[in-house]
Amino acid sequence: MAEAHQAVAFQFTVTPEGIDLQLSHQALTEIYLSVLRSWKKRLIRLKNSVITGVYPASPSSWLFVVIAILATMYTRSDPSMGLIAKIQEHLPVRYHSLSAQCQTVLSAVLFSTMLWLSLIFTMRMCLKQLLSYHRWMFEPRGKMTNTTKVWLTLVRIFSGRQPLLYSYQGSLPNLPVPAVKDTIKRYLESVQPLKNPEEFERMTSLAANFESCLGNRLQWYLKLKALWASNYVSDWWEEYIYLRGRGPIMVNSNYYGMDFLYVTPTPLQAARAGNTLHAAFMYRRKLNKEEVKPVSFTAILTCTVIPLCAAQCERIFNTTRTPGEETDSVQHWQDSDYVAVYHRGRYFRLRMYSAGRLLSPREVESQVQKILDDPSSPSPGEEKLGALTAGDRIPWAKARKEYFSSGLNKRSLDCIEKAAFFVTLDDDEQGMMGEDPAASLDRYAKSLLHGKCYDRWFDKSFSVVIYKNGKNGLNAEHSWADAPVVAHLWEYVLATDSFQLGYNEEGHCKGEVDSSLARPQRLSWDIPPECQEKIAQSLSIAQALADDVDFHVFSFRDFGKGMIKKFRISPDAFIQLVLQLAYYRDRGAFCLTYEASMTRLFREGRTETVRSCSNESCAFIRALEGGEVCRRLLRQASEKHQSLYRHAMTGAGIDRHLFCLYVVSKYLGVESPFLNEVLSEPWRLSTSQTPVQQVELFDLVNHPEYVSCGGGFGPVADDGYGVSYSIVGENMINFHISCKHSCPQTDSHKYGGLIRQALLDLQLLFCPDQKDPSKADLRQTKKDM
């Protein structure tokens, strides 16, 4: 209990001689350093807020403007055209005691400041208008219009230099509200290949009735919201799609990310935890200082970068989802100096700072090893407590209110929820290993997605899992942010772990250990039998859900984006056509297909749906299955998919607009048969690409083995597939396929085999020479263009 005594700064005892006051100098020192660290962070936040607030200018530019105005005045000219004199006349009475020259200088400084702020405002508005221009995205590659050339030049001029993470936030445009008639037109086009003539005619009639009657009324309210809200979609999307869901978030909402596929940097569990946790806190430190490079992408093969919204980064750490009976909420704390750790049914608090400094990887390894060596047993109800976060939300909300709202349980629960993130030290071994590497990858995916249903804390923003053999991974909650934000963190952690921190010859972390570090604190619980029964009920529900998940993960290495791009086809469009072809061969029909696209070109943007099953894609697949050589149809389908994707990215999507119109209709208490039918349509094929964002962190040429397998998610529909894919390097595509055992029509392994075959069949359209596709004659390809 030494750590418990150290947590008390002073103690006093009443004796016959008086009060005996005992001070703990170590605790007082820790308190002092903690306060000092907190104030340092506040000052950094204040400094960054000033720098971000004046971007694209800089604070030093204020001094330049002041000196320029004063220098001009000393040449006997008035750059303010009389405004400085007006300011001097209206100075407060207390400044009248100053000399006339001092009053003039003070007035000039005030005028300079107002001029400087006006220039900043003008520059930001100009940049905001420039970033609202998206026609460049629709221009053919290599064919840039004069308008776009001028736009690129202006963006470079107004973008400023050395931006911080949030520097562009105030300059990002708001998400536009599309016209109702445009959205309905795009919707009808998207469902036409999925309906017979009678069904399509009925849907067209419903859409026309909605457009002429209720649509304009709902649109008026939506435009009213768009006037004052930063983003007319995001808050409703977070609340109604995520937080109001009353079913389990495990499998249904949470997603996962994997470790390196072929490499395990160290076989020591504690050492891998040491580097992983230290790297995560290094990223958090960069995040707090806003030193993380703003996420952007390069426009039209130029050096001009187009910024993306970074608002989701604010809640990566120190965040948890709190259950409620009607709706959940997302809580975020400014700081946390520890992580919550689960091992063999026990919960620990592992402090990551000592004397105001971040623990070295070797020190974290030592602390983790103490947890691994701890022989204590779980208290009653503690081992499977995490199952409450895996089951239905209402029972968890009620149990939290009844058993965890006060006393010992509340303190321990607060410790978990306020932690920087959650860590599981898993006793299993995972990764691609053994005599059947394919099956081991499937088990690895299922372990990261749901584990044992009680050894993860699914409410935390993300949970890091460290396996016994040194493999790692993470599970992330979905409501607070989308996968690319977590993937950015995870790429940094993996790269820093292996290429920057490293390990010694024995596999241990590098560095020395401070022997005076207090042991990790074991959390205590008092869980009554009634609560243990509720835990068992939640576990039963979660276990049934987990057992029903059918998962298959595989890497396709016959070819990758390198060969696809030689055909002048978008790799993403190519893979989407492969997925639809495989589904058509599996079911004999087409289905409504969901592909996630980002809308982070706009402020607080999240995602939009690309309805990738189109008339063009269906025409291509029917022709291919009919034995035709249909390269022209393949290109048409690819170009259509790219057009759909670009429209979704630039605010002209379908589903978020219809979703918000539906929410408005519910607020107004009116029913729309059209909207009810649209929002009840099942997505039997839900897909998402996980791109590598920080390519510069990985040297896939010299170290091709250091490649991650990406991540995945559970099936969206009970009778459908969830497919996540990542395009890695030039010659590798990873697929994560999920479905449910309870549906006799779905089989992840069968669908995976169909995807492999579809990839090879599309390859044959351009590369009849299968022996060496990279050297195949592309003359016929160029002829067909």
What is the number of other CB atoms lying within 10 angstroms of the CB of residue 775?
A: 9
343 is catalytic: no
d(CA 574, CA 637): 9
The residues, ordered by sequence, that sit 6+ positions from 305 with a Cβ below 8 Å of its Cβ are 159, 296, 297, 298, 299
Whether 294 and 534 have beta carbons less than 8 Å apart is answered as no
| Phi and psi at residue 434, to the nearest 5° | 75, -170
Active-site choice (478, 508, 552, 647): 478
d(CA 428, CA 447): 9
Of 156, 470, 143, nearest to 303 by C-alpha is: 156
Of 446, 452, 326, 439, nearest to 383 by C-alpha is: 452
Residue 614 Cα distances to 245, 585, 677, 680, 765, angstroms:
30, 17, 19, 19, 21
| Phi and psi at residue 16, to the nearest 5° | -55, -25
If phi over 0 gives left and psi between -120 and 50 gives alpha, with beta otherwise, what is residue 712?
beta
Helix (H) or strand (E) holding 39: helix 25-54
282-289: list long-range contacts, CB under 8 Å, 24+ apart: 282/358, 282/492, 282/496, 283/489, 283/492, 283/493, 283/496, 284/316, 284/317, 284/420, 285/358, 287/165, 287/313, 287/316, 287/317, 288/41, 288/44, 288/45, 289/44, 289/48
d(CA 346, CA 58): 50
What is the number of other CB atoms lying within 10 angstroms of the CB of residue 766?
A: 20
Place of tokens 């309905």: 184
d(CA 377, CA 394): 30
Residue 212 Cα distances to 107, 208, 216, angstroms:
59, 6, 7
Strands 329-332 and 319-322: antiparallel
- At position 714, the amino acid (one-letter code) is G
- At position 345, the amino acid (one-letter code) is G
Rg of the chain taking only CA atoms, in angstroms: 29
DSSP 140-162: PTT---HHHHHHHHHHHHHT-SS
Helix 615-625 and helix 571-587, axial crossing angle in degrees, nearest 10: 60
d(CA 398, CA 404): 10
Of 745, 254, 684, 180, nearest to 458 by C-alpha is: 254
The residues, ordered by sequence, that sit 6+ positions from 379 with a Cβ below 8 Å of its Cβ are 524, 525, 526, 527
Using CB atoms within 10 A of its CB, is residue 209 exposed (0-12), middle (13-18) or buried (19+)? Answer: middle
DSSP 360-426: PHHHHHHHHHHHHH--PPPPTTTTTTTHHHHS-HHHHHHHHHHHSSSHHHHHHHHHHHTSS-EEEE-
d(CA 229, CA 223): 10
d(CA 195, CA 49): 53
Cα dihedral 676, 324, 475, 548 sign: negative
Tokens representing 491 are 């790429």
SS3 of residue 470 by DSSP? coil
Catalytic residue annotation: 478
